[in-house]
Chain A
């Protein structure tokens, strides 16, 4: 396959950045999207040019490091698929492909397609945990948790923290990310104790980090490579109301 790539190039935070065009030649349909970029990079190096910088690590769809908007869709838009699991056979020979970084004020570009997502860590630090002490805890079976609750919490906990929800959101809101953690912990008895404090401080941090507000476009769910459901945002909202009246 031969493809035309339009790639965002930006040499550091100070640079303005621009789209540049590259040709990807003889791409194997069996290669993954990142492997295709690897080959383009090898070619660029041989030509004495700077290779394209992009974040990636596990390449099996779980670490949440890869972060590219492909043709206007975070992770390329295939259902429940991260960029690293996207394969070239889903493109056609001769396609023109647009590759851009996550776009959000809260995610400044570091270089080319790599962005700084530490704002998500700050949200987690605002309360995405239970305040249990190492060692001083009860037996695992001392708390009974119904299977439906455990499953609901697990559905939320599948979030890989890649930030695609923010990248896909028209408002650059991190509400889906935040709600996944809030819902996971609020559903489990061990997280309920601090639920009110957690939802208030985590949502307050959203604004402090420069994320936008949720206006229920649900583009986040469509962007999420793990299919995290917007029902967790409803859960967060419910928890927030409960916290208000407490």
Chain B
């Protein structure tokens, strides 16, 4: 009750689920960076993951739960907030609120759309059927994830879409990271500016990390 009704309780749920999702984003990048080791790197990484069997499904369900909670409360808090502000100002000027803090709901929903597309693309593999890893095996008969990724990102449209999505993620995180620490009560006047900067830094590193894959691919540096 406290957690799901109270203003601070729900904010706390947002922070905790956000923190765990952030953890996933970091781990996912580390996993993805195996693409730079060539076909053997990412294909064996994917193979190993799949061999975990039911644990993969437990993990997927947990992730689904986190996302549902994060989005459910994100949307309901946003609706409540806009109901609390029925009339805006004729003249409006922000001083501390940032573009990214003001657009959290939009970047969040955009990320949801992206996640769905991303799952269809690389997990369900139904958007680019001809490169789907499940039907293209590599030299030692593993699903050729490397081929799927590289062929996928050779298409400008896909690359642009991923880069844009990662910029959206950057915006979401550049407010989100410091927000997590503030919400769980771990910031103060001295740490907040540092944490804010560090949060943006982390978000930027993640942005660079993620977009380096499609960009290096489309630039022809990572190739089959």
A and B bound? yes
Residues of A within 8 A of B (CB): 6, 8, 19, 69, 71-73, 77, 98, 100, 103-106, 170-173, 175, 199-200, 203-204, 206-207, 210-219, 221-223, 229-231, 233-241, 244
Assembly CA distance A131 to B211 (angstroms): 57
A and B contact pairs by CB, cutoff 8 A, 23 listed? A71-B91, A72-B93, A77-B95, A98-B90, A106-B84, A171-B81, A172-B85, A173-B81, A199-B8, A204-B6, A212-B80, A212-B81, A212-B83, A212-B85, A213-B77, A215-B77, A222-B95, A229-B189, A234-B192, A237-B11, A237-B185, A238-B186, A240-B9
Residue in B7, B9, B77 whose Cβ sees the most chain A Cβ within 10 Å: B7
Docked-complex contact A73 and B95, CB < 8 angstroms? yes
Closest chain-A Cβ to B128's Cβ sits at a distance in Å of: 37
Minimum-distance CB pairs A-B, first 9: A238-B185, A212-B84, A171-B81, A98-B91, A72-B93, A222-B95, A217-B97, A212-B81, A237-B185
Contacts of A104 in B (CB 8 A): 84-85
Docked-complex contact B6 and A207, CB < 8 angstroms? yes
Closest chain-B Cβ to A14's Cβ sits at a distance in Å of: 15
Docked-complex contact A170 and B96, CB < 8 angstroms? no
Whether, in the assembled complex, B178 has its beta carbon less than 8 Å from a beta carbon of chain A, the answer is: yes
Contacts of A200 in B (CB 8 A): 2, 6
Contacts of A244 in B (CB 8 A): 2-3, 9
Contacts of A240 in B (CB 8 A): 6, 8-9, 12, 185
Assembly CA distance A215 to B179 (angstroms): 8
Closest chain-A Cβ to B70's Cβ sits at a distance in Å of: 13
Contacts of B96 in A (CB 8 A): 217-219, 221-222
Q: Mark B88-114, 1 if CB is under 8 A from A, else 0.
A: 111111111110011010000000000
Whether, in the assembled complex, B125 has its beta carbon less than 8 Å from a beta carbon of chain A, the answer is: no
Nearest B residue to A98 via CB reads B91
Docked-complex contact A237 and B8, CB < 8 angstroms? yes
Assembly CA distance A16 to B101 (angstroms): 31
Residues of B within 8 A of A (CB): 2-3, 5-12, 77, 80-98, 101-102, 104, 175, 178-179, 182-189, 192
**In the complex with contacts A73-B95, A203-B8, A241-B12, A210-B84 CB distance below 8 A:** yes
Nearest B residue to A235 via CB reads B185
**In the complex with contacts A218-B97, A237-B184, A241-B184, A206-B7 CB distance below 8 A:** yes
Closest chain-B Cβ to A89's Cβ sits at a distance in Å of: 20
Docked-complex contact B101 and A216, CB < 8 angstroms? yes
Nearest B residue to A170 via CB reads B97
Assembly CA distance A240 to B101 (angstroms): 23
Assembly CA distance A103 to B3 (angstroms): 28
Contact of B185 among A19, A173, A241 (CB under 8 A): A241
Assembly CA distance A240 to B6 (angstroms): 10
Contact of A203 among B6, B81, B82, B102 (CB under 8 A): B6
Assembly CA distance A125 to B60 (angstroms): 46
Nearest B residue to A103 via CB reads B87
Nearest A residue to B178 via CB reads A216
Closest chain-B Cβ to A47's Cβ sits at a distance in Å of: 24
Contacts of A213 in B (CB 8 A): 7, 10-11, 77, 80-81
Docked-complex contact B89 and A203, CB < 8 angstroms? no
Closest chain-A Cβ to B76's Cβ sits at a distance in Å of: 9
Assembly CA distance A58 to B223 (angstroms): 73
Docked-complex contact A77 and B90, CB < 8 angstroms? no
Assembly CA distance A38 to B103 (angstroms): 40
Docked-complex contact B182 and A237, CB < 8 angstroms? yes
Known: A216-B178, A218-B96, A237-B183. 14 other contacts (CB 8 A): A19-B90, A72-B92, A170-B85, A172-B81, A203-B9, A204-B6, A212-B81, A214-B8, A216-B179, A217-B96, A217-B101, A221-B96, A237-B12, A237-B184
